[in-house]
Every structure is written in structure tokens, then in C-alpha cells.
Structure 1
Amino acid sequence: MAGGDPSSDDQQSRARLILPAGIGGVALWGAWALGEALSFDTLAGNREALLAYRDDNYLTAALLFMATYAVLVALSLPGATVATLTGGFLFGVFPGALFNVLAAGTGACLIFLAARWGLGERLARRLESGERTRRLKEGIDANRWPVLFLMRLIPVVPFFAANLIPALLAVPLSIFAVTTYLGIIPGAVVYTSVGAGLGEVFATGGRPDFSLLREPRVFLPILGLACLAALPLFRKALLARWTR
């Protein structure tokens, strides 16, 4: 018998919504219930226990840290900044930055896959049905690499949104993963370096100093990378103008 069962398709479509809806619910609950638990003060209060556990179980501590960080990102829970600082505090700039990049990138890929599996096909059909949205999607598709790199290098778009938007626009996982893992490296190194200096901050009872982010030696290289990522966009715009 030709054709499929429409009711079965509807049931599968509704079932696919359960995962992203569940993640959204967990994210809202986490923002309400875990905001204070996943904070700098919590890290400060448990620093000695964390350092002792790391010293006794280094590999296990590293794996548990990365798994926890990945879950935070995958469920869009609060505390990603504190997690990055923790990576620097426990493991130093290196391998702390490596652990942070692997964990954050893996969590981003997980939520990307969940969103694409649950919402991607349905939203893609809607985007293609409208002329304006179809042109917008085609424009992004033609510039996937530079656009995704810019989203990571310049934190104008919130991290969770930068994980969801590509999924809803049917960006291939390979492109998303490469631009995510590589694009978050500069910011991860900076925040990890701040975390690596938390020992002295804790000793004086102070707070993390993020003024490092405003220093030319930090933001100029990141700005340079952003300009390099944007070069293909400028090139296409100039070629389109010259060929008119």
C-alpha cells in the first residue's frame, strides 16, 4: 500500500519534540534552582576538598570535571563560566584549557544534535516555505564557516543560542563541531588563565579579575582572528559589488 500513515507521522513528530522540550524545562529549572549552587562562592567554599580530590585521583577528577561541564552545556544549565574557571584552578592553564574546550565543545555538540533531531526538520520545512526566510537560510548556508567561526570568536550571540541556531538551520555536524572546538579556544584560554590564578584570589578573599579581557594583548589577537574569519564575507561582498 503506497503512502504512510499520517497519524503515525504526527506521533513521531510529537515524540521528537519531547527531548528538546525536556532540555528546555531542565534549563529553566536549573536557572531557578542552581544559580547560587553553581557560583564562584561555591567554588571558593569547596576549593580545598576539590584540590585534595584532584591530588589523590587526578585522572578521575579530570574525567568527572569534563563530564560535568559537558552536561552543564548540553542542558543549558547555569555555571559554564564558573566551570571554566574551575578548570583553570584545578588543572592550570594547560591542560585546563584543553579540558575546558573538550567539555564545552562536546556539550555543544550534544545539544546541537538534540535540537536538530527534535526540531530541525520541521523548522527547515517552514524556513523553505517563506521567500524571505528561504533567502536568509541560503545566505547563511553559503557562508557557514566564517559565520559560525564569528559566532564563537565574538561573544555577541549567547553560547546556548550559538548551539541551537546552526541546528535549526540544518548545518552539518562536522562543520558545527570544527568551528565550535576551534572557535572557543581563544576565549577558553583567557578564562582558564583567570581560573589558574584563583589560588591567590582565594587567599585574599577577593573576586576573579576579568580586566584581563580588556587588555590589548588579549583582545587584539582575538579581534585579529575574527577579522580573518570575516575575510571570506568581505571578499564575497566586494566581488558581488564589482560584478554588478
Structure 2
Amino acid sequence: MSDTRFPLENSPKASQEAPAVPPPKKARVWRYAPVGFVLAGLALGYALGLQDYLSLGFLAEQREALRAYVDANFLWSSMLFLIVYILAVAFSFPAASVLTIFGGFLFGWMIGGALVAVGATVGASLLFLATRSAFGSFLRHRVDGSLRKLADGFRENAFGYLFVIRLAPVFPFFVVNIAAALFDISLGRFFAATFFGILPGTFAYAYLGQGVDSVLVAAQASGREAQISDLVTRDITLAFLALALVALIPTIIRQVRKRGDRR
């Protein structure tokens, strides 16, 4: 007599994986909550007129009062600046360059640059996590062909690609934060590539901020508001691009070798 205690053990249906059960509707909705929070915070910031305070015009008008307050409350001011920077980046508020100049002006290029590097990296990581929670599996489940290969290649060389993009600020900072989440990069690689990649540009802008006083005075004397273009020269822009190209060389060599091995 055959053993019939487990009649389905070797059947084809039993060997197949069980179909994936979609998450409950309530769980799917909560996935988008962090992104909704970011959008709500951004809208609230504009509604409150925060963009008027995060400008070189405001710095020009309040520079003496701001510097006096920082001198009297250095530690508290540093923590407050760090929190503001984290929130500005996490909510994708377009003020990173201006705030970096603020940091250099108020705290000096070294301390200001360090505060900006930490604040920008933490804020970017928060936005990265918010985007990944909502759309992290988008490319993995919905694209194929060349775009899938691009996603896989970006994931394999995440640190190198991100590091190069961060070195040369060609793309808006918040766009890179969102795009990286769509390509399913680990948080550790994102954090490290962002922190080390933005260091040259961060300290360069902070150094510009340290000497921004003369530019603000000149702009006020001419009856116009100072612009970031008054500080950023062509040489600085070319230097950023050169740094990015140099950093890209190892990634290019690695890709060429990989294609050669496949042949």
C-alpha cells in the first residue's frame, strides 16, 4: 500500500511558489505618507514666506544682527542652523546654496562647512528614505530592457555614480536624492557618497560665504540684491567639473574591464 499521508508533497502545484499577496490597501496608503508629509511641509514653507528669509537679500539686511546673535550664542546658533539646514533639505526647499553661504558667513568656512555637510547629508537621507518608502520598488517591478540594465548598473556602482554627481552640482540636489531612491540604492552607500561627494563644493561655498560681506555691501550700494552668481566664478565651476571627471575615471575603467571580460 502506498503512503498517502502527504499526497500533495510532490505535485507540480505544491512545488510552485505561492503567488505574492498584495499588501492591504491601508498599508499601501501609509507607504505614501512620508512623501505627503514632505510635500505638505514644502507647501507650508512657501505659505509662511520662508523663501524671503532664505535669500542673500535678507542676509544683506540682517547680517550685523545675525552675526551679533551668533557671537553671543554660538553653540545654540550652530544647533539651530543645523536643524534649519536638515529641514530645508528634507523638505526640498530650494535654498541649499544660500544656506551654505549663510553658514560660511556666520560661522566661518570650516565650522560652517562642517555644519552644512552634516545637515545636507542627514536631510538628503531623510528625503531618500521618504521617497524609497513610497516608490522604492517602482523600477524593479515596472521597467525592463535598457532601463532595467541602467538601474542594475547604477545599483552595482552606486557609490561611484553618486559620488561623481555630488562632486559636480549639475543636477539639483533634491532631484538626486529622489532619483537615487528610485534606483534602490542602500542607505549606507547613499549616505557615504553624499557626505564625501559634497565636501569640496560645501567648503568652497562656505569659503565664499566667509567673504560675502563685501559683495553684499557692493550690491546694496548699486541698489540691487546680491545674487549667488556674484560669488561663483567660472573658475570655480570648471574646478567642480574637473573634480567630477577625475572621480569618474575609476568607474569608467571598471565598466570597460567588465565589458571586456564579457567578450
Q: What TM-score results when the alignment is normalised by the length of structure 2?
A: 0.80
Q: Is the 8 A contact 1:194 1:209 kept in 2?
A: no
Tell me the CA shift for residue 28 of structure 1: 4.6
- In 2: Cα distance, 1:148 partner to 1:126 partner: 23
Partner secondary structure for residue 100 of structure 2: helix
Residue 150 of structure 1 pairs with residue 164 of structure 2: yes
| Percentage of pairs with the same residue | 34
Q: Which has the higher helix share?
A: 1
The equivalences for 1:83-162 within 5 A come to: 83-127=99-143, 130-162=144-176
Q: Is the 8 A contact 2:208 2:231 kept in 1?
A: no
Q: Is the 8 A contact 2:86 2:123 kept in 1?
A: yes
Structure 2: unaligned runs, 5 residues or longer: 1-17
Give the counterpart of 1:222 among 235, 240, 244: 240
Partner secondary structure for residue 184 of structure 1: helix
Q: Is the 8 A contact 1:194 1:210 kept in 2?
A: no
Tell me the CA shift for residue 59 of structure 1: 0.4
**Per-residue Cα deviation, 1:200-231 (whole angstroms, up to 9, x for no partner):** 2334426356455322xx45653443233212
**Per-residue Cα deviation, 1:73-96 (whole angstroms, up to 9, x for no partner):** 000013222111110110111111
Q: Is the 8 A contact 1:26 1:77 kept in 2?
A: no
**Per-residue Cα deviation, 1:121-146 (whole angstroms, up to 9, x for no partner):** 3553224xx23332221121222122
Q: Is the 8 A contact 1:88 1:192 kept in 2?
A: yes
Go from structure 1 to structure 2 and tell me whether the alpha carbon gap of 1:239 and 1:121 turns closer, same or farther (over 3 Å shift): closer
Which residue number corresponds to residue 10 of structure 2? none
Which residue number corresponds to residue 13 of structure 1? 28
Go from structure 1 to structure 2 and tell me whether the alpha carbon gap of 1:113 and 1:58 turns closer, same or farther (over 3 Å shift): same
**Root mean square deviation, CA, Å:** 2.5
Letter in 2 for 1:11: K
**Per-residue Cα deviation, 1:122-181 (whole angstroms, up to 9, x for no partner):** 553224xx2333222112122212211111012222110111111111101111011101
Residue 64 of structure 1 pairs with residue 84 of structure 2: no
Q: Is the 8 A contact 2:215 2:230 kept in 1?
A: no
Residue 35 of structure 1 pairs with residue 55 of structure 2: no
Go from structure 1 to structure 2 and tell me whether the alpha carbon gap of 1:123 and 1:13 turns closer, same or farther (over 3 Å shift): farther
Go from structure 1 to structure 2 and tell me whether the alpha carbon gap of 1:122 and 1:138 turns closer, same or farther (over 3 Å shift): closer
Give the counterpart of 2:257 among 236, 239, 243: 239
Letter in 2 for 1:50: L
Which residue number corresponds to residue 9 of structure 2? none
Residue 186 of structure 1 pairs with residue 200 of structure 2: yes
Go from structure 1 to structure 2 and tell me whether the alpha carbon gap of 1:152 and 1:15 turns closer, same or farther (over 3 Å shift): same
Go from structure 1 to structure 2 and tell me whether the alpha carbon gap of 1:223 and 1:203 turns closer, same or farther (over 3 Å shift): closer
Letter in 2 for 1:239: R
Considering only CA atoms, is the larger Rg found in Structure 1 or Structure 2? 2
Q: What TM-score results when the alignment is normalised by the length of structure 1?
A: 0.86
- In 2: Cα distance, 1:232 partner to 1:113 partner: 28
